[in-house]
Amino acid sequence: MHYFTLSYTHKNTPIDTREKLAFTDDEDLKKFYEKILALPCINEVLIISTCNRVELLASVNDVSEVAENILFEFVNHHELLPDELNEKGDIHYDIEAVHHLFRVISSLDSVVLGETQIVAQIKDAFSFAYENGYCGQKVARVMQNAFRCSAAVRSSTDISKNPVSVASVAVTKAKEVFDGNLGGYTAVVVGAGEMGELTAKHLAKAGVNIIIVNRDIEKAHKLASMIDSVTVTVEPFSELKNLVNHYRLLFSATGASGVVIGDDITEQVSFTRHWFDIAVPRDISQTNCKNITIYAVDDLKGIMDENIKQREKSAEVAYGIVDKFTQDFFKWLQTLSVNPLIKEIRDMAKECSEIEIEKAIKKGYIDKDAREQMAKILHGAFNAFLHHPTHKLKNIAEQPQADTVVQSIQLVFGLKTKQRKALDTYKWDYQIEKKSKDRPKKELS
């Protein structure tokens, strides 16, 4: 059995090709699963499809033609020209495939290093595949360890703790201005596009009530319906003047080509206002009004750059964790083979019977000449006793509960199953220095 991955991402495949590889809905995805599972070499499959990647993880019997066969199905299913996938994507086998998966789920392969969304996306993909019977024990084994690896990376590093997007940095800066707590405040969000949506979501996480203003009010209502953890209201664009002069917090993220908030609508008020202009070009012009602090993208960029450096430092530690989890996974995998376990139990029984025969001879219970006959009797008795458990163990070897059963038997019998010589395909080649091309470059001091 081998592991195989085929990976199309922002790193190796242009966006127009990735868009063609996307699945229109669950039914479309199911049809593709069925095509892949119909291939003779495939045991189980997991497909991960997000805006930045399409990944396929498979358990396969033979790796000789698996890549060619799966590539053909991608081209055929998505009605592509063969050349459209030529020299695109990355293919990994066995330990390299598992290392790649652990790296992806630990967000070391994401557009934004350390982003947390990928874990939920992979959990959803795995649940879909498992519940529909597209994957089972073999993929489940590696996924369980992948989730543990991701959790270890997040608990042992700060890779996800420092915000690196303009929207998240702006909200974090607002928290600092208001002594670390925005709960209960109200913020005006101008714009309901991608950046406005991100800003609104970060504000909602911080417990901020939100007023959305947008020229297309239907789009504003659609954004408001996506947020349910705080109070969200929608106001028409004609109310912008009243809003900017009434609330302390404002975040502007429109796609306008010119100024949206200028002196023509800004009035002097008695309280301090903090406005975050995260649009390019800028939405807010400098004002003569007092008690207004304006933070533009350039003001936030320094924070973003510093946070990115911190994430890159954490990534070095994270790669070490990924390396160890990959190595440990294959060591563990080698101990789960049923046949060595059965052999060790039989060897243990044989050793015990021979020890008891020697004791019986020394005490004069049996004659030395009867040793061979007694050994046959005892070995036969042990084999008869172990016949049903052995048969049962072989039957459940391919079932999801097999791993738990095997480890329980190892514990109960006190077995220390000798690891077979590392499987030829499971050699560990991922020393940190050999993976430098995938890792953030260290700055020269």
Q: Which two tokens stand for residue 108?
A: 């070391």
Residues 344, 231, single domain; the answer is no
Beta bridge partners, 174, equal: none
Same domain, 109 and 205: no
Same domain for 283 and 369? no
On whether both 218 and 295 belong to a single domain, the answer is: yes
Domain stops at, among 257, 282, 304:
304
Residue 114: exposure state from Cβ atoms within 10 A (0-12, 13-18, ≥19):
buried
- Residue 275 to residues 210, 292, 334: CA-CA distances in angstroms? 14, 7, 58
Q: CA triplet 118, 124, 130: central angle to 5 degrees? A: 130
321 lies in some domain: no
Q: What pLDDT is attached to residue 438?
A: 52
pLDDT at residue 270, as a whole number: 94
Question: Does 119 share its domain with 17?
Answer: yes
pLDDT digits (tens, 9 = 90+) for 222-253: 999 999 889 999 999 999 999 999 999 999 99
Residue 220 in any domain: the answer is yes
Same domain, 66 and 140: yes
Beta strands in 311-431 (DSSP E): none
Q: Please give the tally of structural domains in the chain.
A: 3
Domain that holds residue 407: 336-418
Residue 262, both tokens: 């200028």
Q: Which residues of the chain have pLDDT under 50?
A: 418-437, 439-445
Query: In this structure, are 152 and 175 located in the same domain?
Result: no
- Whether the bond between 340 and the residue before it is cis, its omega within 30 degrees of 0, is no
Is 441 part of a structural domain of the chain?
no
Asked whether residue 144 falls in the same domain as residue 210, the answer is no
Strand partners, 212: 189, 234
Determine contact, residues 72/32, Cβ cutoff 8 Å. Answer: no
Domain stops at, among 119, 137, 156: 156
Half-sphere exposure of 204 (CA within 13 A, CB side): 19
Reference 246, options 278, 281, 211; nearest CA is 211
Residue 90 and residue 9 in one domain: yes
| CA-wise closest residue to 276 among 194, 355, 167 | 167
Residue 412 included in any domain: yes
pLDDT given at position 374: 87
Longest CA span, the chain? 114
What is the pLDDT, as a whole number, of residue 28?
95
The candidate with the shortest Cα–Cα distance to 237, out of 276, 269, 265, is 265
**pTM for the model:** 0.64
Please check whether residues 127 and 186 belong to one and the same domain: no
Q: Is 364 left (phi over 0), alpha (psi -120 to 50) or beta?
A: left
Side-by-side strand order, sheet with 186-190: 232-235, 209-213, 186-190, 249-252, 273-277, 292-296
Q: Could you say which DSSP state residue 364 is in?
A: T
Residue with tokens 């630990």: 106
- Residues labelled as active-site residues: 51
Residue 281 belongs to some domain of the structure: yes
Q: Is 142 exposed, middle or buried (0-12, 13-18, 19+ CB in 10 A)?
A: buried
Q: Which two tokens stand for residue 435?
A: 């993976």
Q: Tell me: do 14 and 123 sit in the same domain.
A: yes
Give the Cα separation of 203 and 189 in Å (integer): 10
* Residue 59 counted as domain residue: yes
Domain assignment of residue 292, yes or no: yes
CATH of the domain at 148: 3.30.460.30
Residues 171 and 227 placed together within one structural domain of the fold: yes
Q: Is residue 24 part of a domain?
A: yes
User: Which CATH number fits the domain that encloses residue 250?
Assistant: 3.40.50.720
